[in-house]
Structures are given as C-alpha cells and as structure tokens.
C-alpha cells in the first residue's frame, strides 16, 4: 500500500475528512469523500462483480464500512484512496460469496410489490436527520455512536463514561428521538 506523503495537501485534506467522520460528523465529509471516490469504487465493482447492481451495493457498503472504521484510519500508513480500495476489495469478496449475489430470474412486474418513492425516502431521511439534530449533544452523541455499530460498552469506553450513564443517556435519547419523530409525523416502532 503506498504511504501518503505528509506534505501532500490533498492527502492531508482527505485524512482530515476521515478524521471528521471518526469524530461523528458524517454530513459534508462523507458527501465529499463519496463525490471523490464513488465513481472509482463503482468501476472497480463492475470489474470485480460484473454486475451494475452489485457494484452499486459494493460502493454503498464501502462507505458504510468507512464510516464505521474511520477511527482506525492512519494517514501515516497510506492514503484515503488506498484505504478505500482495501475496503472495496474486501467488500467485493464478501458480496461475491453471498447467495444473494447470484442472478435471479426475471419477475413479472405484477409480482413486484410497490416500493416507496425515492422522494418519500429522501424526505423521510431528512426528517429523521432533523429529529436527530434536535437532540441535545449528549443524546445525539450516543445515538450516532450506536448507529455506527458500537455497543453500549464500547460507547462508554470511547466517551470515558460509566456504562450506566451511557445506558441512561441512550434510554432518554431514544425517548426524545421518538417524540421528535412523532412531531414530524414519523411514527417509530416501539
């Protein structure tokens, strides 16, 4: 893996974006990294998986893994591009192994259940994001870390808090989030 040059402004900028993601800022930094690397990862996915849909799925999973592992990225060991390529190779191998990656028979359109309009999905996503943003900083922090896949014990370790405090914050954060979603017309499952 090529080592990122410390004096390379682009490498420093991209390492900074990953550091922002690791700190919990997933908005603009992830958008910028996606803008820069999604095309390359998609082309790699097409070569590796020979299917556009699987390549799109691979790209999505790459960015989910980047989000979850951003704290492990070390710019001294390599560039963000190299880090994402390693993630891409791993994801492509995982996708190839899944039974769901095998081609399916074509379905008659009448057999396909109606799907939510992407505009509705975008609006729902924005309302959920808005509801999360309306939480206090401590509650928002535990929700975001839990969404990133951390257990309550891991969150406690990361934040330097007692496990009981994390459990209490999570309980109150979920209750506040449920209330915020209800106000926006999104009824969360109990």
Closest CA to 86 of 115, 65, 106, 109: 65
| 56 within some domain | yes
- Which residues are within 8 A (CB) of 151 and not within 5 positions of it... i.e. 6 or more apart? none
| 111 within some domain | no
CATH number, domain at 37?
1.10.1740.10
The residue segments making up the domain with residue 78 are 9-101
CATH number, domain at 127?
1.10.10.10
Torsion (CA) 33, 38, 41, 45 in degrees, nearest 10:
150
| Residues 101 and 49 sit within 8 Å (Cβ to Cβ) | yes
Domain boundary among 101, 136, 154: 101
Is the pTM for the entire model greater than 0.75?
Answer: no
Number of domains within the chain: 2
Q: Which residue has the higher pLDDT, 187 or 50?
A: 50
pLDDT digits (tens, 9 = 90+) for 89-120: 988 888 888 765 555 555 565 555 666 566 76
């Amino acid at each position: 893996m090529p080592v990122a040059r410390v004096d390379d402004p682009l490498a420093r900028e991209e390492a900074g974006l990953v550091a922002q993601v690791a700190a919990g800022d997933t908005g603009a930094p992830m958008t910028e990294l996606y803008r820069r690397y999604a095309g390359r990862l998609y082309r790699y996915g097409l070569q590796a998986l020979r299917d556009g849909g699987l390549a799109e799925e691979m790209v999505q999973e790459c960015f989910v893994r980047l989000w979850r592992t951003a704290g492990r990225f070390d710019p001294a060991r390599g560039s963000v591009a190299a880090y994402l390529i390693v993630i891409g190779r791993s994801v492509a191998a995982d996708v190839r192994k899944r039974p769901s990656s095998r081609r399916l028979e074509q379905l008659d359109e009448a057999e396909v259940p109606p799907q939510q309009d992407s505009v509705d999905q975008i609006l729902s996503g924005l309302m959920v994001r808005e509801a999360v943003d309306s939480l206090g900083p401590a509650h928002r922090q535990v929700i975001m870390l839990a969404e990133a896949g951390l257990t309550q014990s891991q969150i406690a370790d990361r934040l330097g808090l007692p496990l009981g405090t994390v459990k209490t914050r999570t309980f109150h954060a979920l209750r506040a989030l449920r209330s915020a979603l209800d106000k926006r017309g999104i009824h969360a499952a109990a």
